[in-house]
Amino acid sequence: MNYRRKLIIALGAAPSPLARAQQPKLVYRVGYLTERAPEIEKRWLAAFVEGMAELGYIEGRNVVIEQRHANLRVDKLPELVAELVRMKVDVLVATGGTAVAAKKVTQTIPIVSLSQDPVAFGLAKSLARPGGNVTGVSDYHSAMGTKRLEMLKEIKPSASRIAVFFNSDLPPNVNQLKDLRVAAKTLRLVLDPIDVKRREDIVSALARFGNERIDALLLLPGPSVSSHMPQIAKAALDQRIPAIYTVALWAELGGLISYGTDFYAYYKRAATYVDKILKGAKPSELPIEEPTRFELVVNAATAKALGLEIPQTILVRADRVIK
C-alpha cells in the first residue's frame, strides 16, 4: 500500500474538526435563578428537574444545575446573575421577575423566563417572536382575573368592595389591574387597589382591614406580597375577610382559596425550552407560551374558621380541597 493510500485511509478514519465540533457536549451547565428562598422554591425546582430528567438530562451525570436564590432580596439579583455568567452557563432559567435582572447583565446567554408577562416586562417583542435572548413561558392569562373575582362573589354573594394588593412598579401587575377593572364592572363590584411596594405599605394596608369596610381581598403576585404572605393570610383570617391567591402554596399554608397556573406543569414545561436551546434552537425564534393548565385549591379548614360555606359550584371544580 503506497503512502498516499495510507494517508487517505488515515484521514478517513479520523474525525474531522467539524465532526468533532458537532459532537454533543458531555455535561451542560444550567443556571437557575429565583428571587424566592430555597424552602419555597424547592417544589417548583423539583418539577423542573423532573422535566429535565424526562428529556434525558440527569443532574450530576450530563447536566449541572447551578442554583442561586435571592431570598426576596431583589437588590442581590445582579450579583447572582454575574456569578452565573462567570460560570459560563449554557442556559439561564429565571423565575418570577428575575429575568429582568438577568437580561440587564447578559444579552448573549439564552434565558428561559418563567414570569407573569415577558412582553410587559420588556423581555420580548412579542409572544410569537421574542426577538432577543429571552423566551420561556408566561404564567398569566387575562381570563384568570375575571375568574378570581367571580369566585369571590360566589363565596360571598353580599360582597361589593374588593381590595386588590398590587405593585405599580411591576408592569404585569398594572396590566392585570386593568383587566380586573373591566371584570369588576361586569360583576358590579367596586375595586379598591392598594399599592404595596415595601414592608411599610403592607403594614399600612393590613391596618385598613380593621378600620375600613373590605368585603374580600384579591392579591396579585410580586416580591412584596410573597414575602409577607403569612402576615396577610393571618390578618385576613383575623378580620374574617375571604381572600383569593394566585399560587396554590398560599392556600396550602392557610389562605382561603387559590386559582392560577398549575405551577408544577409550568416548571416542567420550562425544561422543554432548555432542551430545545441546548440542541441549537435560538431563543429569539422560540414562541413564548401562555398557560394552558390552571389549578383551583380550596382550604376548607380556613373556610370553617371564617364562618364561610364554600359553594358546591366551586368545590366540584376544585383540583384539591384541603380539609
Higher-pLDDT residue of 134 and 17 is: 134
Band of residue 6 on the pLDDT scale cut at 50, 70, 90: very low
| The predicted structure's pLDDT at residue 29 | 97
Which is nearest to 93 in space by CA: 50, 32, 49, 144? 32
What is d(CA 17, CA 9) in angstroms, rounded to the nearest whole number?
A: 17
Supply the pLDDT for residue 13: 45
Would you list the DSSP string of 249-269? HHHHTT-SEEEEE-HHHHHHH
Q: pLDDT tens digits, residue range 34-53? A: 988 888 889 899 999 999 99
- Domain made up of 143-262+295-322: CATH architecture: 3-Layer(aba) Sandwich (3.40)
The CATH 3.40.50.2300 portion of the chain extends over 23-139+263-292, 143-262+295-322
Q: What is the pLDDT of residue 300?
A: 96
CATH number of 23-139+263-292, picked from 3.40.50.2300, 3.40.640.10, 2.102.10.10, 3.80.10.10: 3.40.50.2300
Q: What is the DSSP string of 67-111?
A: EEE-TT-GGGHHHHHHHHHHTT-SEEEEETTHHHHHHHH-SSS-E
The 3-state DSSP class for residue 158 equals coil
The pTM for the full model equals: 0.84
Residue 18, pLDDT > 60, answer no
Report pLDDT for 25.
Answer: 65
Which tens digit of pLDDT belongs to each residue from 238-256?
A: 999 999 998 898 899 899 9
Helices (H) and strands (E) in the chain, counts: 14, 12
User: In the predicted model, what is the mean pLDDT of the chain?
Assistant: 89
